Amino acid sequence: MSVLLKNGTVVTTTGRTTADVYVEGEKIKAIGTQLDQKADEVLNCKGKYILPGVIDPHTHLAMPFMGTYSQDDFETGTVAAACGGVTCLIDFDLQMKGESMAEAIERQKGIAGKACIDYAFHLAVMDPRPEVIAEVKQACRDYGTPSFKIFMVYDFRVDDGTMIRLLDETKKHGGLVQVHAENFYIIQHMNAVLAAEKKLAPYFHAVSRPNIAEEEAVYRAAKMVELTGSRIYIVHLSSREGLGVVKQARDRGVQVYAETCPQYLVLDDSRYKEPKWGGAKYVMSPPLRTPESNAALWDGLRSGALQVVATDHCPFDFRGKKDMFGKDDYKKIPNGAPGIETLLMVVHSEGVVKGRISLERMVDVLSTGTARMFGLKDKGEIAVGKDADIIVFDPKQKFTITQKKLHMNVDYTPYEGMTVTGMPATVYARGRKTAEWQKDRMQFAGTLGHGRFVKREPFQGF
């Protein structure tokens, strides 16, 4: 199969140019003007951007969590991803008690077979036995999974000693430790105070996890990096205070990298006051913050203090899952929200169209920089030799976000009613058409099972 994209605006991290892009099989074969290769499909891209496919490095597909499972699996989750322009994702593979890293990876591969886009895994270290920490070397060099997630909260949190051992080991082998940074004891204390006052509605989820809980945990993690001379990546950074700590560490040459998510850029804690228990839709950890944090995070993206935007896609139905155990207590509401399908449209419309970040910066934080951070050497760029993961993007197409027109396997979207400017027109995943705009919405046009497990390279520096 070959495709010739004619007269599009090819966007990279450093600029844009009008060009043709020729795809043969799975790869980008040529970029130039007036290309005349014979192709099975020729697409006029005048007035459209040609962007590298989005890479979402933070998803939870079919993940056991808080007494239930996140609802999208590798079939529904990757179809929704493709419809939003995401052509590769990195999912969190939670290690079970007693498992080796190799066993955890094989188990996760076993549930990923129907994916329509490529995927990779981060290992979430939940049972940090000495032989598991020692497996970091093989994970980095042989398994193709050189990133390791640890949680400072939840039942499966790890202690600071484990963090230090993992940092030490990853430093030796080109691994990257990712941290969910919130202070467990601050949250535990706040939960007790709120319970005594019978404050158990969804709004109090946010009160129980104040900015200071993130600030302290990011600070502690950054100090462990300083101690070990290793590097760390903070997932779903949400607060102005947390970002301040990241910046201070980076200013001092400590390698602290961080991602944020669309929900922390465009939504705020007023959402927890939605009537009819609607605040439960936004129960996620860390919680939504104030507009001051939204603005600080956009600044961080613009300046480079934040390197990646990811989704933390972890959907639970509003009716049936959010209220299964948590109707009378925010602590029992499954934490997480859907977002993989709306990532690009929200960041483009709220970020680029509103002048908060440039188009080139968007390409960096959604694709090129993400590929570099996580060792996806064949992805993240419109360049000869790279995988043909391509979005033909119509910057003028308007779309009013509504769950009815999305593909995620969940009964709501946090962005219901938001009108965005700019939508994918056609999405190619490794050379194959996978989604396209039809009439008033994106439609899946790909093949289940086309996605492959991608082995990643160890960390090369950022």
What are the residues binding Zn ion (CB under 5 A)?
Answer: 180, 312
Quick one: 336 or 424, whose CB is closer to ligand URP? 336
Q: Is position 285 an interface residue for ligand URP (rule: CB under 6 A)?
A: yes
Rounded Cα distance, 319 and 333, in Å: 11
Among the listed residues 4, 59, 60, 242, the single contact to ligand URP using CB under 6 A: 60
Q: Is position 281 an interface residue for ligand URP (rule: CB under 6 A)?
A: no
Please tell me what DSSP assigns to residue 337. Answer: B
Q: How far is the CB of 359 from ligand URP (least distance, A)?
A: 28
Cβ contact 221:163 at 8 Å:
yes
Q: Is position 376 an interface residue for ligand URP (rule: CB under 6 A)?
A: no
Quick one: 60 or 361, whose CB is closer to ligand URP? 60
With a CB cutoff of 8 Å and minimum separation 6, the contacts of 129 are none
Q: How far is the CB of 343 from ligand URP (least distance, A)?
A: 15
Quick one: 60 or 271, whose CB is closer to ligand URP? 60
Rounded to the nearest 10 degrees, the angle between the axes of helix 211-228 and helix 184-196 is 160
Task: Pick left, alpha or beta for residue 249 (phi over 0 → left; psi -120 to 50 → alpha; otherwise beta).
Answer: alpha
Q: Is position 95 an interface residue for ligand URP (rule: CB under 6 A)?
A: no
Among the listed residues 284, 301, 373, 423, the single contact to ligand URP using CB under 6 A: 284
Task: Choose among ligand URP, Zn ion, none what residue 284 binds, the Cβ cut-off being 5 to 8 Å by kind.
Answer: ligand URP
Q: How many residues bind ligand URP (CB under 6 A)?
A: 8
Quick one: 56 or 389, whose CB is closer to Zn ion? 56
Q: How far is the CB of 193 from ligand URP (least distance, A)?
A: 21
Rounded Cα distance, 112 and 107, in Å: 9
Quote the Cα angle for 57-59-64, to 5°: 145
Cβ contact 94:117 at 8 Å:
no
Residues 325-364 that bind ligand URP (CB under 6 A): 335-336
Give the number of other CB atoms < 10 A from CB of residue 159.
Answer: 12
Beta strands in 60-125 (DSSP E): 64-65, 68-69, 86-94, 118-124
Q: Is residue 277 classed exposed, middle or buried when 0-12, 13-18 and 19+ CB atoms within 10 A define those classes?
A: middle
Quick one: 85 or 336, whose CB is closer to ligand URP? 336
Query: Interface mask (CB under 6 A) for ligand URP, residues 115-154, using x and -?
Result: ----------------------------------------
Give me 457's structure tokens.
Answer: 């390279």
Cβ contact 309:262 at 8 Å:
yes
Quick one: 336 or 414, whose CB is closer to ligand URP? 336
Rounded to the nearest 10 degrees, the angle between the axes of helix 160-173 and helix 211-228 is 50
Helix ranges (DSSP H) in 62-114: 76-83, 101-109
Q: Is position 254 an interface residue for ligand URP (rule: CB under 6 A)?
A: no
Q: How far is the CB of 314 from ligand URP (least distance, A)?
A: 4
Please tell me what DSSP assigns to residue 281. Answer: G
Rounded Cα distance, 432 and 149, in Å: 32
Q: Is position 381 an interface residue for ligand URP (rule: CB under 6 A)?
A: no
Residues 209-228 that bind ligand URP (CB under 6 A): none
Q: How far is the CB of 50 from ligand URP (least distance, A)?
A: 32
Rounded Cα distance, 237 and 120, in Å: 22
Quick one: 237 or 305, whose CB is closer to ligand URP? 237
β-pairing, 41-44 with 419-429?
A: unpaired
**Rg for the chain (alpha carbons), in Å?**
21
Quick one: 135 or 312, whose CB is closer to ligand URP? 312
Nearest-CB residue to ligand URP? 335
Query: Interface mask (CB under 6 A) for ligand URP, residues 290-329, using x and -?
Result: ----------------------x-x---------------
Quick one: 74 or 393, whose CB is closer to Zn ion? 74
Enumerate binding residues for ligand URP (CB under 6 A). Answer: 60, 180, 284-285, 312, 314, 335-336
